[in-house]
Structure 1
Amino acid sequence: MTIQASVLLSKNEFIAELSDGRRIGQADLREMAGALHQAGVQAENAQCEWRAGHRMLTAGQQVALSAEMRRLEKLAEQKRQDAPVRGIALAA
C-alpha cells in the first residue's frame, strides 16, 4: 500500500500528515526526509501544502525535501543490491 504524506510548516516545525493517520514532526528538513523515508513514504508521494495559519514551504525547501528523499531511496536500493543472497551455495 502506498503511503501519501502532506507536509506543511507550522511555527518553524515541519509537520507531515500521513495517509495512514500518523503525524510526524521534525525541526530539520533533512530529519523530516529521513523520518518520511523510514515511514515508507516515497519522494513522489510527499506533497507540500499550505493551510490557513501555517506557512508554505519555499520552493527551495520543497526541492531539498524531495532531493533528500530520493537520495535516501537510492541509498536503500544500493544496500539491497549489495546485500549477499542467503541460502544459495556458490560452486567454484
Structure 2
Amino acid sequence: MSKVTSSDFAQAQATKMLSLINNQLPGLIRQLNSHGQQLSDPSHWDGPLAQKFRGEVWPQASRDLDNMRSSLEQLQQQVQKVLGNIMAAGGK
C-alpha cells in the first residue's frame, strides 16, 4: 500500500478549486451563454459580421460552453475525490 501525504496547502488549493467550480464558473458560463444568445438575435444586432457570428461563431462557441460545463462536472467529481483523499491522509 502506498503512503499518502498531504498538507494544509493542498487542502486549501483543492477547496479553492472546488469553490470556483461550484460557485463562480457555472455563473460565468451562464452569463456567456446569455450574452451570446442576445448577440445572435438580429433584432439586437444585424449585418454581415452579425450574420457570421450567428451562423458560425456562436454555434461553435455555444457547443464549447456546453462541453465546458460537462468538463467542469467531471473536474468537480475529481476534485472532490482529491479533497477526500487529502482529508483521509490527515489534512486539516
TM-score (norm 1): 0.36
Q: Which has the higher contact order (CA 8 A, sep 6+)?
A: 2
Q: Decide which structure has the larger Cα Rg and report it.
A: 2
Structure with the larger helix share: 2
Structure with the larger strand share: 1
